Amino acid sequence: LIQTISDASFDEPYTVTINAAGTKAYITNSNADTITIIDIPSNTVSGVITGFDGPSGMVITPDGTKAYVNNYGGPIAGSGNGTTLNLVDLATNSIIGGAITVGQAPAALAISPDGKFVYSINYENGNPGTGTMSVVATSSNSVIATITGFSGPFGIALTPDGRFAYVTNFGSNNFAPFGTTVSVVDLKNNAITATIGVGIQPSGIAITPDGKYAYVTNYNTLYAG
């Protein structure tokens, strides 16, 4: 550990998103309505973006000018009761346009390599088959498709070519029923095409740059004894 950054704006800080230039880090404050901006060269807080509700993820467009933020639900709607995404202008650090309505409890986001689509996985209630994925066209900032059949989706990663999404099915946060799978989504046809068995409550996922492997974290193996 070489430095600890502290700021009054942090409130259950959750995800970190770094811009392509490596100059700024954006911290979602999951128990607040804010995102904290860190200036990376100095490791100091340089600003705060307001107007969210329990933000739990952020993706930056390929041109670096805008970002999409998911509102899982926090101090306004209550945890897990959010239903929207916000579009942020990173030049002015402000929300622009109206909120984009997706499913309940949008847990994570991914953006296609060409920036044409944003994918929001929606936890809903965590029960088997109730989770959804909202496909947002960035040209109109509207939902153009909804994919069903997930079970408490919690993490998402796209292959480098943008053809497939891998989604972790965490399952219920009330101990049972818990999830044990990853869903493979064909993004050309917007359909689940395969299910991979993994550990208990898979949560995080990342794909190697060559697209050959996906690494999945299994949140709670306590249930296996």
Q: Which pTM was predicted?
A: 0.96
Structure confidence at residue 175 (pLDDT): 75
Structure confidence at residue 142 (pLDDT): 98
Give the chain's count of helices (H) and strands (E): 0, 18
Contact 72, 30 (CB under 8 A): yes
Structure confidence at residue 174 (pLDDT): 76
- Burial of 81 by CB count in 10 Å (0-12 exposed, 13-18 middle, 19+ buried)? middle
Structure confidence at residue 136 (pLDDT): 98
- Tens digit of pLDDT for each residue in 142-179? 999 999 999 999 999 999 999 999 999 999 987 789 99
Q: Which of 214, 118, 124, 125 is nearest to 166 (CA)?
A: 214
Spans of the chain below 50 pLDDT = none
Structure confidence at residue 187 (pLDDT): 98
Structure confidence at residue 173 (pLDDT): 81
Residue 201 CA to chain centroid, in angstroms? Answer: 17
Structure confidence at residue 221 (pLDDT): 74
Structure confidence at residue 21 (pLDDT): 97
Structure confidence at residue 162 (pLDDT): 97
Structure confidence at residue 46 (pLDDT): 98
Q: Which of 218, 172, 155, 164 is nearest to 194 (CA)?
A: 164
- Cis omega (within 30 of 0) for bond into 160: no
Q: Which of 106, 63, 51, 99 is nearest to 81 (CA)?
A: 106
Structure confidence at residue 223 (pLDDT): 74
How many other CB atoms are found less than 10 A from the CB of residue 221? 10
